[in-house]
Structure 1
Amino acid sequence: MAQETLPDRSAAKGPGEGRPGASGGEPASPRAARLSGLRRGGRAGWPRTLLAAAAGLAMWLAFPPIDLTPLAPVGVALLTLAVRGRAARTGAWLAFVAGAAFFIPVLEGISRIGPDGWIILSLVQAAYFLPLGAGIAVAARLPGWPVWTAALWVAEELIRGRVPFGGFPWARLAFSQTATPLTPYASYGGAPLVTFLTALIGGLLACAAVAAHRAHRARRARPAGSGADDAPRPAWRALAPLAACLAAAAAVVGGGTLIPTPASGRPVTVAVIQGNVPRLGLDFLGQRKAVLNNHVAATHELAAKVRAGELPRPELVVWPENASDLDPYAEPDAYNAIDGAVKDVGVPVLVGALTDSPDGEKVENRGIVWDPRSGPGDYYVKRHPVPFGEYLPFRDLLTKLITRFERIPRDFAKGTRSGVMRLGPATVGDVICFEVAYDKEVRDVARGDLLVVQTNNATYGRTSLPPQQIAMSRLRAVEHGRTILVAATSGISAIVAPDGRMLDESREFVPDVQVRTVPVRTQRTLSDRLGAAPEWALAALGLGAVLAAAWTARKNEGN
């Protein structure tokens, strides 16, 4: 083969690969090695470090509101190329660089509650990429490495979405692919399968790049004077893996277009209310009253338009999270205002309200079924309150160190049962705010005929977070084959069809009333039946590949 004519195997490697000294393979002094490492950006080298940063930025651009969705697998490919062939420790560092370049811009909406919290959260999330990068560096030594490295992305998201404090599963790869040919795969294996396939395409693109580089190197290494019939053969052999990798990526994309996403079902007319939030300048109590009054007024307006024949009569209505920050059980004015609006529209309303817990020590974030005849009835309490936002871990210590936490005088209680409730003619499955990012919570309530997301995005308005939350809802619609009603105080509210299509969508910071006849479905998807099994199986596959590669390397060292 052409490569065998090279006088020194290290000559075929890039800078710093396989050559301990500066030239001729002579050992360098420790000081020279350190200086050389600094010039190359440490052990990783500046080219690879910059490539890792570019990987993170590419993945960020794939997410809403920019939505350059093909860049998600491109980012995975760039990170894989940066890490592949490196030691596990170097791979971990490169992945952390990519994670920081990704999470800092993708979570920029968190800066509304403080730049320090934004940067700290982003870097904590980037830290989950440390074992991911180490694992990719090790697993990429095995044949079929695009599969094993893709499975490691699922493992990273599994851990990040659970540990600590229940995890933070925002900005998963799957949530960048909510209107692409990969979206239908969610109905088979949920968000974890979509993440796996997104990363697999990225791995296959990296595989194609490696094959193309080898073909180019084989052509350049052709010995002088070789015969015309002999020289091209190594290069053409190297092109076969290139074609195979690209064909496999195309097959994954094409396969998604063949998966059916049914959107038919029993018709039900629904309404989603976005009352909006008041302008700044009111006192705290005035703000709370104004938010409630806005939603009451919008519901009265809906009722008036129904009576005038301008809108069809809805069979159920959904208000957002925090539509009433005044406890309707304890505040007669709030109770009467809500009850009057519900009686006026004449159908059950799912009301988002903050209430005292039964012991009076905590706050409950509730979705309350409010009937026009019997008043408040069944309810759901948010099961995943936000740590450091709705409850404060290590309260005694942190309140002494950070005075800002005094804004959380009482913790929110954690709900203990699912949000499946009867709302007029349909059974709805309710999740509140960022619970839509959690597979388990949404899967648990997908037993309902409709899915509801009650949210309050006013703090994060006009940032990337509201459109990212809508993207999650679109994926959940396909994953569970359900219409999803998203009600937000200030936007973005939406009605999403079971196939992920946007039937209606509000602008931010304006009042809006959405009325639509939507399909109500009871059929369960394969993803519903499999539950968390695909995620755990793929994560185990990635971990198994790392262990196999490490065992093989140790075995080879012993020979």
Structure 2
Amino acid sequence: MRGLRNVAVAVASGLLMALAFPDWGWWPLALVSLAGLWWALEEAGAWAGLGLGWLFGIAFFAPHVWWAYVATDVIPWAALSVAEGLAWGIFGMAWAHVRRAGLAGRGVLAGPLLFALLWTGVEVARSYVPFGGFPWGRLGFAFVDVPIARLAWAGGVPLAGFAIVLVGALLGVGVERLRERRFLAASVAPVVAIAIVFLPGLIPIDARATDGELSVAVIQGNVPNRGLDSFSQAREVLDNHAAVSAQAAAVAAGTVDLMIWPENAADLDPRTDEQSRDTVTAAAQEMGAPLLLGTVDYTPEDGRYNTSLLWSQNGTVLDLYQKQRPVPFAEYIPIRDFARLFSEDVDRVSVDMLAGTEPAVMQVGIESLGRVVTLGTVICFEVAVDDVVRESIALGGEVLIVQTNNATFGDTAESTQQLQMSRLKAIETGRYTIQDSTVGVSAIIAPDGRVLQQTGLFTAEYMLADVGLRTEITPAVRFGGYLEWLFMGGAVIALVSAVSRRMRARYDW
């Protein structure tokens, strides 16, 4: 019966974790979820830990990435949920070894600290492996509106996530000690947990425009039809963005420094398609500003590039960026023959996306400022990829621009989940951040994570704003890479120590 109880608690905890993320956004449930997982794994051995953690992961990830089902079908969605759920299975197995080896002790803090260390180490690892990783659904993204999110300024998403897991585990310890009638320890745990949640709110985050302001027009043109068919409407999508640009130009022409179109707004590459070139050049001229636009470059013989172009008013390319981290099984298909055994949908991606090699920065001369401004220009999914964003800002990005296309995911939470990522990245980098989507949600975000303007979903809208430029480098940008290695290395050391101790005890070495 206890085994069935643990299964039920693990699954319920995973579902509660899903409710902590958009569109529900009930962040306290994540802490309840973590406490529940602590309880479910209380007496688990390694294999039981693997199974319970895996069930937790699937129960969380399946509803969290429901948009994958909407965009594709049941098999790709289920495969993604099961594969990503394994990360939490590995965590459960590792925690079982650590706890059974006695490393957690009986104090209030040691166990939760190790629990959080293992969780964060696994979370960082799954952000990079396999196939470049899948950093969607990291815990920190659910807490943007909570004071603890300010830890991202100091150490990025991993540090914020570590602190959140520590809080959840402390609540789990509190329940354990209460059950054991150790009332002093039971009272200490929630007090420490509350302090960890709210004290980071004292971290001062500078949201001033320290290096001038950039006047932008952010265009959301909308897409005629949703789902995968949206990619077959390139001409209509281009015309939609041109039409909304004309509306914005009627209000702000001559006062804008930069106009922004989203990913895939001009999939008919204006460098090779004459009609597209005429359309985007006319839009830039009408606004009186260079245009940052998303297109696809099909000139390579062995694939294509997801590309962002900085287009001048006279029809020339001022700068460009090619997406460095194409999404596996979405923009390119690794192990295609094997993947086809499970779903023929893999062949919808007939031309694999290639990985760009240059950092996500562009430079544009801004007449109103009398200088060149460096833009941080990540594309879509890359907003969740820590090293791509860090490099973009470390190399001089004064504002972070996220061009994205959410048309394939319908009325799901995919776009609002991505908005949460952009908001946390604004805190992490100390930059004003612009998320521009073909269909929404688009937004302008302050360096403290506040949304200053926001569009609707599947609407044609534009936003006009003066966004602050900043060059200060936050601790997260400067040291975040080292911190990731510290979390992964610490998790490996804890696991190896636990396994070694258990083996010595078993074989009396």
TM-score range, shorter chain: over 0.9
- For structure 1, which runs of at least 5 residues remain unmatched after alignment? 1-39, 216-237
Kept in 2: contact 1:182–1:253 (CA 8 A)? yes
Q: Where in structure 2 are the equivalents of 1:225-374 lying within 5 Å? A: 238-265=182-209, 266-279=212-225, 287-307=233-253, 313-357=255-299, 359-373=300-314
Aligned length: 490
Give how far 1:264 is off: 0.2
Of all paired residues, the percent bearing the same amino acid is: 36
Q: Residue 530 of structure 1 corresponds to which residue in structure 2?
A: 479
Scaled by the length of structure 1, the TM-score of the pair is 0.84
Match of 2:20 among 62, 77, 80: 62
Kept in 2: contact 1:150–1:542 (CA 8 A)? no
Give how far 1:408 is off: 1.9
Report the Cα distance in structure 2 between the residues aligned to 1:367 and 1:280, rounded to whole angstroms.
Answer: 22
Scaled by the length of structure 2, the TM-score of the pair is 0.92
Q: Where in structure 2 are the equivalents of 1:97-496 lying within 5 Å? A: 97-112=55-70, 113-140=72-99, 141=102, 142-143=104-105, 144-215=110-181, 238-265=182-209, 266-279=212-225, 287-307=233-253, 313-357=255-299, 359-373=300-314, 375-395=316-336, 398=339, 402-425=343-366, 426-446=373-393, 447-496=396-445
Are the structure 2 counterparts of residues 544 and 406 from structure 1 closer, same or farther at C-alpha, using a change threshold of 3 Å?
closer
Q: Residue 82 of structure 1 corresponds to which residue in structure 2?
A: 40
Report the Cα distance in structure 1 between the residues aligned to 2:355 and 2:141, rounded to whole angstroms.
Answer: 26
* Higher radius of gyration, 1 or 2: 1
Q: Residue 35 of structure 1 corresponds to which residue in structure 2?
A: none
Q: Residue 369 of structure 2 corresponds to which residue in structure 1?
A: none
Q: Residue 25 of structure 1 corresponds to which residue in structure 2?
A: none
Give how far 1:326 is off: 0.7
Kept in 2: contact 1:349–1:423 (CA 8 A)? no
Give how far 1:398 is off: 4.9
Give how far 1:539 is off: 2.5
Are the structure 2 counterparts of residues 55 and 403 from structure 1 closer, same or farther at C-alpha, using a change threshold of 3 Å?
closer
Q: Residue 370 of structure 2 corresponds to which residue in structure 1?
A: none
Are the structure 2 counterparts of residues 318 and 416 from structure 1 closer, same or farther at C-alpha, using a change threshold of 3 Å?
same
- Cα deviation digits, residues 364-400 of structure 1 (max 9, x gap): 2111001113522210011111222211223456558
Kept in 2: contact 1:316–1:424 (CA 8 A)? no
- 1:327 counterpart SS class: coil
Letter in 2 for 1:437: A
Kept in 1: contact 2:226–2:407 (CA 8 A)? no
Report the Cα distance in structure 2 between the residues aligned to 1:133 and 1:281, rounded to whole angstroms.
Answer: 36
Letter in 2 for 1:243: S
Kept in 2: contact 1:275–1:510 (CA 8 A)? yes
Report the Cα distance in structure 2 between the residues aligned to 1:254 and 1:390, rounded to whole angstroms.
Answer: 40
Report the Cα distance in structure 1 between the residues aligned to 2:251 and 2:240, rounded to whole angstroms.
Answer: 17
- 1:182 counterpart SS class: helix
Are the structure 2 counterparts of residues 292 and 119 from structure 1 closer, same or farther at C-alpha, using a change threshold of 3 Å?
same
Kept in 2: contact 1:80–1:136 (CA 8 A)? no
Give how far 1:121 is off: 0.5
- Cα deviation digits, residues 327-359 of structure 1 (max 9, x gap): 2111100111111111111111101111223x3
Letter in 1 for 2:75: D
- For structure 2, which runs of at least 5 residues remain unmatched after alignment? 367-372
Give how far 1:429 is off: 0.7
Kept in 2: contact 1:385–1:413 (CA 8 A)? yes
Report the Cα distance in structure 2 between the residues aligned to 1:257 and 1:324, rounded to whole angstroms.
Answer: 41
Report the Cα distance in structure 2 between the residues aligned to 1:518 and 1:259, rounded to whole angstroms.
Answer: 22
Give how far 1:181 is off: 1.2
- 1:380 counterpart SS class: strand
Are the structure 2 counterparts of residues 403 and 285 from structure 1 closer, same or farther at C-alpha, using a change threshold of 3 Å?
closer
Report the Cα distance in structure 1 between the residues aligned to 2:98 and 2:229, rounded to whole angstroms.
Answer: 57
Report the Cα distance in structure 2 between the residues aligned to 1:252 and 1:497, rounded to whole angstroms.
Answer: 24
